[in-house]
Amino acid sequence: MHCRSSLIVVSCVLVATACTRSTGKVSNPQPTTTAPTTQPKADNDWLNRTYQLSCDDISDKPIPVTLQNGQGTAGPNNGYDRWEVAIDARAAGSFDGLGSGTAVMFSCSPQPSNFVLQEVQIFHEDGNYVGRLRPLNPLPSGLSLPPVYNHDAFSVHNGLLNTGVWYYAGSDSHASGPSIPATLHWRWDGRQFVPNSQGQPSGRAEPCVLRSSWSCPPPPHG
């Protein structure tokens, strides 16, 4: 993972190479059903277009952000002077029940602040907006900071959107970043994207063992 000032009300993430013991159960995140307006382009140039972002619900409603080469700045909103926005990852493929589409992962840093948030939106093949993933909840037994999407583990496979996630253990800190890796598999249910099922990391500190809709990604390099 790469570092920014912080991530989803968290600081610069320095992920560990092994799983941290945790017995907490992960709350089942519920995606939003509210669809902001987008401006699709015929060539689907994802890096150069205007998006509507709420920056992980820090804004009461989505605001327009025009990106050039995958980066852009929005004006004052909700007490912040500006928002610095960038595309961290994209994943294209065929979603069961929806057809071909593209998922886009954004990072968003309200300024002045010392944190970065994330938002994931899904679009039809023609560029029209489908929906977004709701913010993830922290582990009940972990640090009370939202988890962080892993931009290196973001893909569409077997009809599902697969998102690598790092969760904070109780022994983690704001400065060290989260240390519990997992993958959530999202499916389209006809109205919104929902996790395949509710998962729970096992309490083992050796190679990560995850259950239900969870799988353990390889540890980061470097």
Task: Report whether pLDDT(197) > 80.
Answer: no
For position 205, what pLDDT does the model report?
27
Q: Return d(Cα 205, Cα 218) in angstroms, integer.
A: 15
What's the CA gap between 123 and 142, in Å, rounded?
33
| pLDDT the model gives residue 22 | 37
At residue 43, the pLDDT reads 53
Give the dihedral sign, CA 65/186/9/88: negative
Round the average pLDDT of the chain to a whole number and report it. 75
**How do residues 90-143 score in pLDDT, each as one tens digit?**
999 999 999 999 999 999 988 888 888 999 999 999 999 999 998 888 998 898
Tell me the one-letter amino acid at 90: R
The pTM of this model reads 0.71
Q: Is the dihedral of CA 189, 193, 198, 199 positive or negative?
A: positive
pLDDT at 27: 43
Can you give the pLDDT at residue 217?
A: 37
Query: For the segment 86-104, what is each residue's pLDDT rounded down to a tens digit?
Result: 999 999 999 999 999 999 9
CA distances from 70 to 86, 105, 156, 187, 210 (A): 6, 11, 20, 26, 34
